[in-house]
Structure 1
Amino acid sequence: MHIRALTLRDFRSWEQAEIELSTGPTVFLGANGNGKTNLLEALGYLSNLGSHRVSADAPLIRSGADRARIGANVVNLGRELRVDIELNRGVANRAQINRSPVRRPREILGILHTVLFAPEDLALVRGDPGERRRFLDELCTARRPGLAGVRADYDRVLRQRSALLKTAGRSARADLNTLDVWDGHLAAHASVLLAERLSLVHELHPHLVRAYAALAPESRPAAVGYRSGALPAELLDPDRVPEPDDPAMLEEILLRELVAARSKELERGICLVGPHRDDLDLMLGATPAKGFASHGESWSFALALRLAAFELLRAGGTEPVLLLDDVFAELDRRRRTALAAVAAAAEQVLVTAAVPEDVPAELVGNTVRVTTTGDPEHRVSGLLPAPPESLPPPAADLPETVAGDLPG
């Protein structure tokens, strides 16, 4: 898989950018603050319908503009598809495939697969559980795009059920039968999401072990597991092989746990059971990586997670585009070498760097100089015809949002 062309309009700092790309490595070279990261962020958005830097869409739209536009020509196994998305202030986002509107933006998921390495990746180890849940869910959706709908449904039910819990906790006349109905909906959607997460951790674990050993051979062995307060320990073992009936079994367990937690939930007014409260267990030997790993070990673990994701997608028949956002300046020689060796074998890798010395020799290829000087609308090489001002309305008048479709 590779990207043949990228077009932007009013995205972040870019009033307009039009770039032709080729397979192999391409380096976006320029001083900090010139918009290099914004180019990779745009491609990551097309891949995941979300930014690795912010949780909302508003900061992605250039100041003074009403909408932003991202478009790319993606080539996979000899077939080329054009995908576009328009981010709008105050109204629903819209998307197209081959210039034809789709009903919901999430229908473009699966066209472009990317794995992005960025300085923010340290939060995978040191950050809040939400960072790790997002990593899991984006990877799950990359493997099975239809899961985006499950995630959207789960998020909707979670909001409705949480609102009911707050109301019921303050009212002695609350209708708890309604809460039983929402319990059923929550368990049904949560069980599918949980089954996918458990299957992913099972398949990710061996890739993570190998990647970390290559990055930090002198360190303790790494391991990844799934942490859930609702599930028994035997289901959380990363070596356990998932069963076909896992969703049905998980739904029964979740329903029991929801009943058991009912009084505490009513007292606190929040939902205490479900995948929105789960986490990844990242271990170095017998010690949790979070809070105990050194800075170098934390970086190695974060890189190993991304490398494992890349290898997992490749094992499933997908060759993701590698996006390396100014990461080599953060790494020592061994980690630079290990990451460069993987990147050099990718079909396409896009790198940002402030100075040429930050780019390993294996990735020196096409260079695109990014600068704020000259014509403010055309700051990169390889101009293409400008895209239309905006996308036409979607084929159906169904409400759609990116943030609502893909909860973080």
Structure 2
Amino acid sequence: MYVSHLSLLDFRSYEAVDVELEPGPNAFVGRNGRGKTNLVEAIGYVATLGSHRVANDTPLIRAGAQRAVVRTRVVRSERASTVELEITAGKANRARINRGQLGRARDVLGILRTVLFAPEDLALVKGDPDGRRRFLDQLVVQLLPRAAGVLSDYERVVRQRSALLKSLRGHRAAGREPDLSALEVWDARAAQLGAQVLAWRTALVRALQPAVAAAYEQVSDADGQAHVGYRSRVVPDGGTPDVSGPAPVEDLEKAMLAAIQEQRPAEIERGQSLVGPHRDDLTLDLGGLPAKGYASHGESWSFALALRLASFRLLGGAAEPAAPDAVFWDPDHGSDADPVLILDDVFAELDVRRRERLAELVAQARQVLVTAAVPQDVPAQLLGARFEVGEGTVRRA
């Protein structure tokens, strides 16, 4: 698949811009602060309904505007689909597909798939667990778009359950014994939704592991050092669940409900939901040691690149797993199932060897979008269509 056209209205720094893109490499070149990243951020947003730079949508709307519009034309198997997203501050975003009626934004998920490499990726290794959870969930949604609704519902349940826990803490602090009947209802709902999220995440980790190990070896020359796992408090001993085989959702639901009940006194005391996928972590080990805290800067970059390369292979179907995880995979595979690769100012961050290896590994992708401050930062393997980016303008060079 590839994006053949991008149109922005009041998105970030752009009042209005239209860009015709090509299959193969496309490079956006311009000085820092001119809006290169805004262009690829918009394309990534169509695929994931999220930004790799900010946690909410408000900064995506140009200062002084009420809404932003992102429109793309996505070509897959020679069939083109037009996707339009309307981002409005303080309101639910809406989407239009092929000039149909405006509907829910998440209806567009699955039409475009992207894998984005950015300097922020280093936080996947060195940062907090929430970034790694977001990495897993965005990948799950691209593989299985219907998961977006479950993830959204789970987040809502956690918020409402936490609000109830704070209220119960207040009752207890005032010397009144709290009524737990309402909490039990939310416990059951949290366990039901959380178990499904756990099942998807652990299935994804099983599929990622061999792909990450292979990709790390390719970018770093280090054989078999990288390992990914999944740590969850739902497991009774608080350790890492066995991700070598799928766990039935029903078993995970029972385990999560038991863990919630065990932690109930602590949850009421702290006024927080302490059990569930919102507290879990993707573990990254290098040579048997946690990458965070032990890996060098170069090793951390190699691990971050390996996570993105593994994502590319899974999204394109090159690392299709065994039958138990087949629910993740689009049956319409083939060369045009490859996601669009976005390399946002990555090459300036890498040493020469890693730049060359990454360029070699991605050069054959159906479409690669590169941003760079100067033309020299674009590797020779990725020379193709070039665009000069100025203040609010994009011009084919």
**TM-based fold match above 0.5:** yes
Match for residue 290 of structure 1? 292
Match for residue 259 of structure 1? 261
User: Which whole-Å CA distance do the structure 1 matches of 2:263 and 2:256 have between them?
Assistant: 10
SS at match of 1:237: coil
SS at match of 1:157: helix
User: Which whole-Å CA distance do the structure 1 matches of 2:41 and 2:256 have between them?
Assistant: 36
For the pair 1:334 / 2:348, whether they are aligned, the reply is no
For the pair 1:320 / 2:339, whether they are aligned, the reply is yes
Alpha-carbon shift at residue 102 of structure 1 (Å): 4.4
Structure 2 runs not aligned, ≥5 long? 318-328
Alpha-carbon shift at residue 124 of structure 1 (Å): 0.3
Match for residue 53 of structure 2? 53
Aligned residues: 374
User: Which whole-Å CA distance do the structure 1 matches of 2:70 and 2:103 have between them?
Assistant: 17
User: Which whole-Å CA distance do the structure 1 matches of 2:105 and 2:235 have between them?
Assistant: 33
Match for residue 313 of structure 2? 311
Match for residue 180 of structure 2? 176
Asked if the contact 2:4–2:72 (Cα under 8 Å) also holds between the matched residues in 1, the reply is yes
Match for residue 222 of structure 1? 226
Asked if the contact 2:231–2:240 (Cα under 8 Å) also holds between the matched residues in 1, the reply is no
Alpha-carbon shift at residue 218 of structure 1 (Å): 4.0
For the pair 1:20 / 2:24, whether they are aligned, the reply is no
Can you list the C-alpha shifts for 1:26-54, whole angstroms capped at 9, x where unaligned?
Answer: 11111111100000000111111111000
SS at match of 1:165: helix
User: Which whole-Å CA distance do the structure 2 matches of 1:278 and 1:162 have between them?
Assistant: 17
* Structure-1-length-normalised TM-score: 0.89
User: Which whole-Å CA distance do the structure 2 matches of 1:101 and 1:283 have between them?
Assistant: 47
Q: Map residues 307-386 of structure 1 onto 2, 5 A cutoff.
A: 307-315=309-317, 316=329, 317=333, 318-372=337-391, 379-381=393-395
SS at match of 2:369: strand
SS at match of 2:370: strand
User: Which whole-Å CA distance do the structure 2 matches of 1:65 and 1:336 have between them?
Assistant: 39
Counterpart of 1:271 in structure 2: which amino acid?
S
Q: CA RMSD in A?
A: 1.5
SS at match of 1:63: coil
Asked if the contact 2:165–2:268 (Cα under 8 Å) also holds between the matched residues in 1, the reply is yes
Alpha-carbon shift at residue 236 of structure 1 (Å): 2.2
For the pair 1:151 / 2:156, whether they are aligned, the reply is no
* Structure-2-length-normalised TM-score: 0.91
Match for residue 208 of structure 1? 212
State the 4+ residue runs in structure 1 displaced beyond 4 angstroms. Answer: 232-235
User: Which whole-Å CA distance do the structure 2 matches of 1:339 and 1:232 have between them?
Assistant: 41
Match for residue 196 of structure 1? 200
Percent identity at matched positions?
Answer: 54
Alpha-carbon shift at residue 292 of structure 1 (Å): 1.2
Can you list the C-alpha shifts for 1:352-393, whole angstroms capped at 9, x where unaligned?
Answer: 111111111110001111112xxx5xx1236xxxxxxxxxxx
User: Which whole-Å CA distance do the structure 2 matches of 1:307 and 1:215 have between them?
Assistant: 10
User: Which whole-Å CA distance do the structure 1 matches of 2:52 and 2:377 have between them?
Assistant: 22
Asked if the contact 1:283–1:289 (Cα under 8 Å) also holds between the matched residues in 2, the reply is yes
Match for residue 237 of structure 1? 242
For the pair 1:5 / 2:9, whether they are aligned, the reply is no
Q: Which has the higher contact order (CA 8 A, sep 6+)?
A: 1
Alpha-carbon shift at residue 217 of structure 1 (Å): 1.6
User: Which whole-Å CA distance do the structure 1 matches of 2:50 and 2:376 have between them?
Assistant: 31
Counterpart of 2:372 in structure 1: which amino acid?
A
Alpha-carbon shift at residue 92 of structure 1 (Å): 2.3
Alpha-carbon shift at residue 341 of structure 1 (Å): 1.5
Counterpart of 1:294 in structure 2: which amino acid?
S
